[in-house]
Amino acid sequence: MSQIIGYRPEDAGQPPSLSPGYVSTVPRSPRLPLVKIPQGLTETTGPANAWSRLMGPSMADLTTQHAAMPQGQRIIVAGRVLDEQGRPVPNTVMEIWQANAAGRYIHKKDQWDAPLDPNFTGAGRVITDADGRYQFVTIRPGAYPWGNHHNAWRPAHIHLSLLGPAFATRLVTQMYFPDDPLIEIDPIANAVPPPYRQRLVSRFDIETTRPNWALGYLFDVVLRGPDATPPDTEHGEDDDHD
């Protein structure tokens, strides 16, 4: 997009930290040259195979965390986590958070006029298996207004955090749904230039779909390299719930 300033081809799918159409990036982005921090043991290592012990039981099904099913369309979101050479990343923590079917988060700062769902918290966490695979069962989130500009609505999305093999490899991003007309007018999605933006869009998959039960969407995540899944420019999710 023309609003992307100083974007270099070598940045691949990385959104620039300043993307003025996404208003929060204006105060949030750095004004001084970045300081390169050498990577030591702290950045290049993690708890390796201890995640399952540290993270507690998996939360792979967001529709069974309360007394009854949440409102909305039940879906399966599945895929693989891969490194820059297409190798699976096993035993890594993948967390998701999302709005309910009406587009509302269970958070005190989200006060727009949509109902909360007593049967939906919107948080999940799994650890990838030996093939780097993951799977969540959830409901399709709704779009919601976010005040970035006049009549601004976020496309339906699921937030993801992947820790990767080391602390410095954490990726925070968002997954969208195919054929959502809001994607092309969303400043957050559009902070990632094409063709990389398409990597943030899941695809409907009839094989993942379960008969008489749930639609299936596939979303592979690549942590690094030329095929990397673009990160999210917003790391202030707790503050403004974009």
Could you give the residue numbers annotated as active site?
105, 144, 154, 157, 159
CA distances from 181 to 3, 15, 76, 146, 156 (A): 20, 21, 21, 16, 10
Closest by CA to 91, choosing from 54, 132, 61, 59, is: 132
In this structure, the strands spanning 93-97 and 123-127 are antiparallel
Instruction: Please give the Cα distance from 116 to 108 (Å, whole number).
Output: 11
Instruction: Please give the Cα distance from 157 to 200 (Å, whole number).
Output: 10
Contact assessment for residue 71 and residue 104, using Cβ atoms and an 8 Å cutoff = no
In this structure, the strands spanning 123-127 and 153-154 are unpaired
Contact assessment for residue 106 and residue 100, using Cβ atoms and an 8 Å cutoff = yes
With H, G, I as helix, E, B as strand and everything else as coil, classify residue 41.
helix
Instruction: Please give the Cα distance from 141 to 177 (Å, whole number).
Output: 10
- Could you count the other beta carbons within 10 Å of the beta carbon of residue 194? 10
Instruction: Please give the Cα distance from 23 to 14 (Å, whole number).
Output: 18
